[in-house]
């Protein structure tokens, strides 16, 4: 499975993770690694090829990030994208100059050589540019494969070594045929056959887990979400009765959440499931608290305390499994001393295992979200679990703005359930990335029957996104929104107004708190 490894050296590009996704789509395993990985380590990993990402720096700046210079003549196929191309050309004596203006957006690419990278590629096509510097002279070391009006050296190939460069970004959707370029590089240059399939991942991961866990027991924390559910199903396939699943019902869950977890893991998988009813403890701890960060801190600390108490009841437990995904590791600064800025500290990475004294197991840490869903289906999880929208760790507490009370949670839970049910009925649930209701800390005047009302406002939030780093609001049909609003107002006591959030991320975030 991993004998066809592609390494992606990260120079700080906002698209580095997207490059990895595109390579995985070709059924080739890849890993995003720090840009200055020594040649010795690269040779240990035995990659079929290397991709150099773009980046915000200029190769002419002092201290600009560079790869190990021995890579250039290692014989390993290399594809440099944007900054990566400039780095390659500069390493062989070429000239990289600052453009008169930053080129950002679509350009028309004319292919001059349809061999290797551009085999089967249109002679003219649209590509996406995003750069300030560009290559002005390749010092006679590189052949020109393609050009644009403003960028004569838009794609190049070294005359002696298997080194290619692209000034544009083949990994983004704005380059419609970019996947063909990557496929040609992987297949024809690197010799990859595309054998990285989910079934092979299951077989190899199960074997590794059995060897690692041995006769010990492993605890898996369930949240009801996709990642933890798939993680639990994979562990159950590997070591069955040695797995103890702990689900903490914080009282901040969506409607039917606890029942779905019970049905899936106790009834379906016959797992050793421990359901901890802790709703009153969490509500008591949150009494009078309005600040969002304080809510998160209280919930996080109490969750660890409750989880620890239950975990101590499980004998011979040595390991703790988490559903950490590949983007979680990247976003949490997996290359923290590299050029890419750390985006966030993800709640799955670090903290909990050290608090509890267990050894950490993260069987999903090489996978992206779409791959985890495929894995869930491969393991036999119900589709209603596999395709669930993401749900924040603090639960409904960060969708109930202001103080969290049992009454507010009941209102929010009902409204949220109606919204999701209508999305399912209309076929829109699978067409959106995340949808939920938010209870606003305001009241509005309304008229119901012959009487005046002064009640709560529900805001509906629904977004489309590939990676959750950026997101756009979903253009739901007007009749669907009207139906949702009518049902919520008619069926949820205490609501007399429904609004729809049309903010994108950025500048807004997906969640309200």
**256 exposed, middle or buried (CB, 10 Å; 0-12, 13-18, 19+)?**
middle
Cβ-proximal residues to 140 (8 Å cutoff; 6+ apart), any chain: 159
Ramachandran region of residue 243, left (φ > 0), alpha (ψ -120 to 50) or beta?
Answer: beta
503 is in an annotated binding site: no
Return phi, psi of residue 109, to 5°: -95, 130
Residue with the two structure tokens 């040609």 = 184
53 is in an annotated binding site: no
What is the spatial distance between Cα 434 and Cα 464, in angstroms, rounded to a whole number? 7
What is the spatial distance between Cα 172 and Cα 183, in angstroms, rounded to a whole number? 14
> In the chain, what's the furthest Cα-to-Cα distance?
85
What is the spatial distance between Cα 301 and Cα 260, in angstroms, rounded to a whole number? 25
Question: Is residue 268 within 8 Å of residue 259, measured between CB atoms?
Answer: no
CA distances from 501 to 404, 429, 454 (A): 21, 17, 22
Instruction: List the 155-158 sheet strands across, edge first.
Output: 30-34, 6-10, 49-52, 78-81, 163-166, 155-158, 142-147, 95-111, 124-137
Cβ-proximal residues to 371 (8 Å cutoff; 6+ apart), any chain: 24, 198
225 is in an annotated binding site: yes
3-state secondary structure of 388: coil
The catalytic residue positions are: 82, 169, 171
Question: Is residue 154 within 8 Å of residue 109, measured between CB atoms?
Answer: yes
What is the spatial distance between Cα 202 and Cα 3, in angstroms, rounded to a whole number? 16
Query: Residue 505 has what DSSP assignment?
Result: B
What is the spatial distance between Cα 399 and Cα 440, in angstroms, rounded to a whole number? 8
Residue with the two structure tokens 């009241």 = 443
178 is in an annotated binding site: no
300 is in an annotated binding site: no
Q: Which secondary-structure segment (H or E) carries 377?
A: helix 369-378
Residue with the two structure tokens 């290619």 = 164
3-state secondary structure of 130: strand
134 is in an annotated binding site: no
229 is in an annotated binding site: yes
Question: Is residue 409 within 8 Å of residue 400, measured between CB atoms?
Answer: yes
3-state secondary structure of 16: helix
- Residue numbers in the known binding site for ATP are 223-229
The binding site comprises 223-229
């Amino acid at each position: 499975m991993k004998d066809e490894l592609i390494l992606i050296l990260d120079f700080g590009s906002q698209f580095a993770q997207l490059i990895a996704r595109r390579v995985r789509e070709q059924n080739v395993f890849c890993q995003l690694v720090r840009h200055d990985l020594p040649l010795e380590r690269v040779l240990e990993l035995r990659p079929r090829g290397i991709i150099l990402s773009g980046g915000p720096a200029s190769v002419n700046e002092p201290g600009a990030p560079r790869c190990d210079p021995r890579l250039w003549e290692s014989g390993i196929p290399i594809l440099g994208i944007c900054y990566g191309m400039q780095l390659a050309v500069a390493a062989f004596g070429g000239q990289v100059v600052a453009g008169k203006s930053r080129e950002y957006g679509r350009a028309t690419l004319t292919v001059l050589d349809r061999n290797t990278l551009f085999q089967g590629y249109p002679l003219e096509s649209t590509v996406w540019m995003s750069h300030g510097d560009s290559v002005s002279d390749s010092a006679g070391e590189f052949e020109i494969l393609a050009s644009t009006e403003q960028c004569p050296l838009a794609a190049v190939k070294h005359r002696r070594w298997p080194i290619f460069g692209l000034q544009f970004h083949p990994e983004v959707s704005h380059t419609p045929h970019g996947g063909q370029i990557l496929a040609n590089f992987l297949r024809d240059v690197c010799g990859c056959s595309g054998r990285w399939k989910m079934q092979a991942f299951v077989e190899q991961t199960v074997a590794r887990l059995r060897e690692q866990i041995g006769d010990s027991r492993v605890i898996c924390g369930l949240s009801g979400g996709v990642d933890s559910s798939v993680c639990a199903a994979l562990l159950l396939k590997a070591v069955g009765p040695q797995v103890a699943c702990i689900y903490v019902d914080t009282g901040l869950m969506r409607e039917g959440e606890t029942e779905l977890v019970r049905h899936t893991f106790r009834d379906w998988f016959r797992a050793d499931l421990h359901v901890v009813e802790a709703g009153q403890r969490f509500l008591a701890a949150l009494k009078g608290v309005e600040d969002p960060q304080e809510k998160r801190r209280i919930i996080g600390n109490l969750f660890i305390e409750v989880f620890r108490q239950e975990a101590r009841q499980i004998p011979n437990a040595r390991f703790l499994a988490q559903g950490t995904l590949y983007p979680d590791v990247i976003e949490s600064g997996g290359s923290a001393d590299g050029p890419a800025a750390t985006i966030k500290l993800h709640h799955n990475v670090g903290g909990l295992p050290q608090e509890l004294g267990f050894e950490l197991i993260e069987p999903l840490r090489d996978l992206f979200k779409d791959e985890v869903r495929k894995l869930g289906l491969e393991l036999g999880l119900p589709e209603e679990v596999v395709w669930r929208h993401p749900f924040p760790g603090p639960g409904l507490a960060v969708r109930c703005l202001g103080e969290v009370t049992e009454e507010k949670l009941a209102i929010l839970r009902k409204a949220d359930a109606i919204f999701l049910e209508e999305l399912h009925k209309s076929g829109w649930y699978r067409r959106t990335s995340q949808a939920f209701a938010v209870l606003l800390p305001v009241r509005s005047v309304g008229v119901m029957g012959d009487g005046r009302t002064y009640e709560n406002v529900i805001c509906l939030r629904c977004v489309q996104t590939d990676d959750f780093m950026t997101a756009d609001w979903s253009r739901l049909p007007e009749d669907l929104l009207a139906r949702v609003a009518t049902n919520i107002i008619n069926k949820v006591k205490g609501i007399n107004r429904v609004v729809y959030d049309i903010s994108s991320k950025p500048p807004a975030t997906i969640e309200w708190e």
